[in-house]
């Protein structure tokens, strides 16, 4: 990699998980709007981003601390500073909890929670030194309400939400803002593909089969009724969170989840649980 070390004018964002989906769309959108982009991913050899002066594609696996440090250093060398961090990398572990192997449970948290913590902690000294910075964590509707068959994904995103909210108080004291972006279901990314592959690692437990079949039917209906959310919408929301200059903590990124978000946040616990049990509990 022969990165010129001159600093290009404009602000710089570092994004994790830019090989596809929201990360790729967000990298393109920031670059199109004149930002410098440190577009990080596990396997940079196969990326689909354009070769442009304001895009640096570099390796970062959130499970490999040395790669995190190297990517941050490469970004600062190339562009002079980093202004915004987007913790986007993540995946969804789908399937019945009891059937999920323990190493998969650990991996879900390693990527979606501890990976975010490691990338954030590695960048914080730079933000603190400059007394400025924005950390944007990509959560999910599954960080607001829960659904059956994704208990571990929900657990990881609830953990991410709690971490981000608590961290926001600490970082405000050193001039750094924390934001949480909450997308709903977007089928154009590779998220579903990976979730299916992960689900295949689960044990088949016969007692759950009727429940799993009923839930899958409900999900198919929900997906059909709420199709249409795009990675572009999510990228736009991330851009707004990065640039609006406010201390707004949470941004719901897609329309499809707004009814469930309202049920969770604007009605009583009793009404919310009755709504969810009505959809997912065996009758």
**Structure tokens of 78?**
């190339």
Is 26 one of the binding residues for ligand NAP (CB under 6 A)?
no
Residue among 94, 183, 219, 239 that touches ligand NAP (CB under 6 A): 183
Is 190 one of the binding residues for ligand NAP (CB under 6 A)?
yes
How many other β-carbons are positioned within 10 Å of the β-carbon of residue 250? 17
Which residue carries 């980093």 as its tokens? 82
Q: What is the dihedral of CA 185, 68, 240, 32, to 10 degrees?
A: -100
Q: How far is the CB of 98 from ligand NAP (least distance, A)?
A: 22
Is 63 one of the binding residues for ligand NAP (CB under 6 A)?
yes
**Which of 28-36, 85-93, 212-220, 273-281 is the region at the interface with ligand NAP (rule: CB under 6 A)?**
85-93
Residues of this chain, 5-24, that bind ligand NAP according to CB under 6 A: 16-17, 19-23
Q: Please tell me what DSSP assigns to residue 110.
A: I
Residue among 30, 191, 219, 251 that touches ligand NAP (CB under 6 A): 191
Q: Which is nearer to ligand NAP, 103 or 175 (CB)?
A: 103
Is 44 one of the binding residues for ligand NAP (CB under 6 A)?
no
Q: Which stretches within the chain are classed as H helix?
A: 21-32, 65-79, 102-109, 115-130, 151-172, 191-199, 209-225, 231-243, 258-266, 269-280
Alpha-carbon distances, residue 236 vs 103, 165, 210, 278 (angstroms): 35, 22, 40, 34
Is 90 one of the binding residues for ligand NAP (CB under 6 A)?
yes
- 3-class DSSP string for 127-150: HHHHCCEEEEEECCHHHCCCCCCC
Find the residue with minimal CB distance to ligand NAP: 21
140 is catalytic: no
**Structure tokens of 97?**
């909890």
Note whether 12 and 80 are within 8 A (CB): yes
Q: Which is nearer to ligand NAP, 62 or 96 (CB)?
A: 62
Catalytic residue selected from 19, 20, 151, 153: 153
Is 88 one of the binding residues for ligand NAP (CB under 6 A)?
yes
157 is catalytic: yes
Q: Which residues contact 214 (CB under 8 A, 6 or more apart)?
A: 282
Q: Which is nearer to ligand NAP, 92 or 133 (CB)?
A: 92
Is 42 one of the binding residues for ligand NAP (CB under 6 A)?
yes
Q: How far is the CB of 42 from ligand NAP (least distance, A)?
A: 4
153 is catalytic: yes
Q: Which is nearer to ligand NAP, 25 or 96 (CB)?
A: 25
Cross-strand partners of 85 = 14, 135
Instruction: Return residues touching ligand NAP (CB under 6 A).
Output: 16-17, 19-23, 41-43, 61-63, 88-92, 111, 115, 138, 140, 183, 185-186, 189-191, 194
Known catalytic residues are 139, 153, 157
């Amino acid at each position: 990699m022969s990165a010129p070390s001159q600093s290009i004018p404009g602000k710089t964002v570092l994004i994790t998980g830019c090989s596809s989906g929201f990360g790729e769309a967000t990298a393109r959108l920031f670059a199109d709007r004149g930002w410098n982009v440190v577009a990080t991913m596990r396997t940079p050899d196969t990326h689909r981003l354009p070769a442009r002066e304001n895009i640096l594609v570099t390796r970062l696996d959130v499970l490999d601390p040395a790669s995190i440090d190297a990517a941050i250093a490469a970004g600062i060398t190339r562009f002079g500073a980093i202004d915004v961090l987007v913790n986007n990398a993540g995946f969804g572990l789908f399937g019945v909890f009891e059937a999920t192997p323990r190493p998969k449970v650990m991996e879900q948290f390693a990527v979606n929670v501890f990976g975010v913590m490691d990338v954030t902690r590695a960048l914080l000294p730079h933000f603190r030194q400059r007394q400025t910075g924005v950390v944007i964590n990509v959560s999910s509707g599954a960080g607001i309400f829960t659904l059956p068959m994704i208990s571990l994904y929900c657990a990881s995103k609830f953990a991410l939400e709690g971490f981000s909210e608590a961290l926001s108080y600490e970082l405000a004291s050193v001039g750094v803002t924390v934001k949480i972006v909450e997308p709903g279901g977007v089928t154009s990314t590779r998220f579903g593909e990976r979730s299916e592959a992960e689900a295949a690692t689960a044990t088949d437990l016969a007692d759950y089969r009727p429940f799993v079949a009923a839930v899958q039917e409900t999900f198919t209906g929900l997906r059909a009724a709420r199709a249409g959310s795009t990675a572009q919408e999510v990228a736009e929301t991330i851009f707004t969170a990065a640039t609006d200059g406010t201390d707004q903590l949470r941004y719901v990124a897609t329309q499809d989840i707004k009814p469930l978000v309202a049920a969770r946040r604007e009605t009583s616990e009793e009404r919310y649980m009755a709504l969810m049990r009505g959809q997912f509990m065996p009758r």
